[in-house]
Amino acid sequence: MTAKTSSTNTMHIGELADRTGLSLRTIRHYDDVGLLPATARTDGGFRVYSEDDFERLMVIKQMKPLGFSLEQMAEILALLAERPNAPGPVGRLSEILEQAAHQRAKLARNLAQADEFIAMLGRLTA
């Protein structure tokens, strides 16, 4: 088995799925599209992931509800992997922060509307 990182703590896809709460299918998809390539593969072809991969997947999981596309996620991951305080990444990360904050506010409004609907149904069924 050849690893891409120096991390010695590795896990198979099932453990990664358990730790993240994501499905095997989702993790395989992220591997297939290049967002989360496995650190290594066993001689039998099974994916092996590192703690760094786990951390990367948690960032992907945080981005998902904010509506970032796979391409945007790849860009963000690349920016985060670079030196974040370099002028280029800081400016772009500031733009991404603004976009994420806007999307979060939109999600909060949608949740408030859902809460109002649930409360109305509660009153009607009480």
Q: How many residues make up the chain in this entry?
A: 126
Q: What pLDDT does 8 receive?
A: 61
Total-model pTM? 0.82
pLDDT (tens place) for every residue of the chain, 126 residues total: 444 444 468 999 999 999 999 999 999 999 999 999 999 999 998 999 999 999 999 999 999 999 999 999 999 999 998 876 667 778 899 999 999 999 999 999 999 999 999 999 999 999
Q: What pLDDT does 90 receive?
A: 83
Would strands 10-12 and 47-50 be described as parallel, antiparallel, or unpaired? antiparallel
50: left (phi over 0), alpha (psi -120 to 50) or beta: beta
Q: Which amino acid type is present at position 78?
A: A
Q: What pLDDT does 3 receive?
A: 40
Closest CA to 70 of 26, 118, 38, 101: 26
Q: What pLDDT does 7 receive?
A: 44
